[in-house]
Structure 1
Amino acid sequence: MSEGLEIKEGRHGRGVYAARAFAKGDAVESCPTLEVPGDSVSGMLGDYVFGSAEDENEVILLLGYGMLYNHSYEANCEYIQDGPRLITFVTLRDVEAGEELTIDYGEEWWSTRNLEPDP
């Protein structure tokens, strides 16, 4: 388990929650990644991978809790490429214990699935 984090059921299914307070700019979790061919990922798993900035035919599979961060347009975290095979989630503002940690999936994620995010 990643220190300071817990997985709970929430409004949008399972999500990552702060088990303690985090200050703005804190690294919440660093997730090792695997790059895999995009055509090898199908069905529901396709909703949990990240696009590769280096190769449009590859997708990035995050290990750890990386695939469980839910979306919010008012996200309290962002993710950054932190080395060749590592993505780190960092807080955008102070986060209280018990608060869900969220990222903004971006418009493309929703439009390519013909979906609208819940408010």
Structure 2
Amino acid sequence: MGLASDQQPIPLQRCPGLVVVSDTPKGRGIFATKDIPAKTIIDVCPVLVLGLDENVKHIEHTSLYHYTYNWPIRDGNGDRKVAQAVVFGLGSMFNHSTQDQNVGWTRDDTRLLVTYRALRDIPAGEELCISYGGRLTFKDADRSDLPSDEDGIEQMNQIQLG
């Protein structure tokens, strides 16, 4: 089975020099084994958007739910809804940090991708962390006094990546 003539391939890439460490204080984490310059693409990850009904009836009752991202969709009436998406690749492995976030992410709603980039220089040995936004399902080890504004966090990431 080949590539259809009207399909444009999506290049997927991952930064070399990354490892998964299983026994960190936060559980599994992604760490740099070499210095990563600011704005480096860390990973480009495809996503699987879950149906609204599927998420409520099934996914919310499993451990998978803790690894999903909010994903904007339009329902049959064109109204904006928030679904959940499973992010493949490293996307679901990054731990959260409010104060030491060093990786930002952007959604590509059309191609169903998330791109992760270094927000600053990341030295070898440092854990790569993103912000999960303000609506956390756990106690934020960094800070607990942040506003609940996931869109604001994502916009901040996008501005810093610019």
Per-residue CA deviation, residues 60-98 of structure 1 (Å, 9 max, x unaligned), is 101112111000002001111145221111111100111
Q: Which residue of 2 aligns with 1:12?
A: 26
Q: Given that residues 32 and 127 in structure 2 are in contact (C-alpha distance below 8 angstroms), is that contact kept between their aligned partners in structure 1?
A: yes
Deviations 1:19-50 (A, max 9, x none): 22111111111111111122241222111000
Per the alignment, residue 41 of structure 1 pairs with: 59
Offset of 1:57 from its aligned partner? 5.1
Greater helix share, structure number: 2
TM-score, normalisation: structure 2: 0.64
Q: 2:105 & 2:50 partners in 1: Cα distance?
A: 19
Return 5+ residue gaps in structure 2 as ranges.
1-13, 75-80, 143-162
Could you list the structure 1 runs, at least 4 aligned residues long, displaced by more than 3 angstroms after superposition: none
Paired residue for 2:130, among 98, 103, 110? 103
Work out the number of aligned pairs and report it: 114
Match of 2:11 in 1: none
Classify the secondary structure of the residue corresponding to 1:53. strand
Q: CA deviation at 1:52?
A: 0.7
- Cα distance in 2 for partners of 1:96, 1:4 equals 11
1:54 to partner: Cα distance: 2.3
In the alignment, does 2:88 pair up with 1:63?
Answer: yes
Q: Provide the rounded CA distance (Å) in 1 between the counterparts of 2:82 and 2:31.
A: 32
TM-score with structure 1 length normalisation?
0.85
1:76 to 102, 116, 122: 102
Of structures 1 and 2, the larger Rg is shown by: 2
Highest RCO, 1 vs 2 (Cα 8 Å, sep ≥ 6): 1
- 2:43 maps to 29
Could you tell me which amino acid in structure 2 is paired with residue 53 of structure 1?
P
- CA drift at 1:7: 0.3
Using the TM superposition, name which of 3-12 and 53-62 deviates more.
53-62
Please say if 1:118 is aligned against 2:136.
no
Counterpart in 2 of 1:51?
70
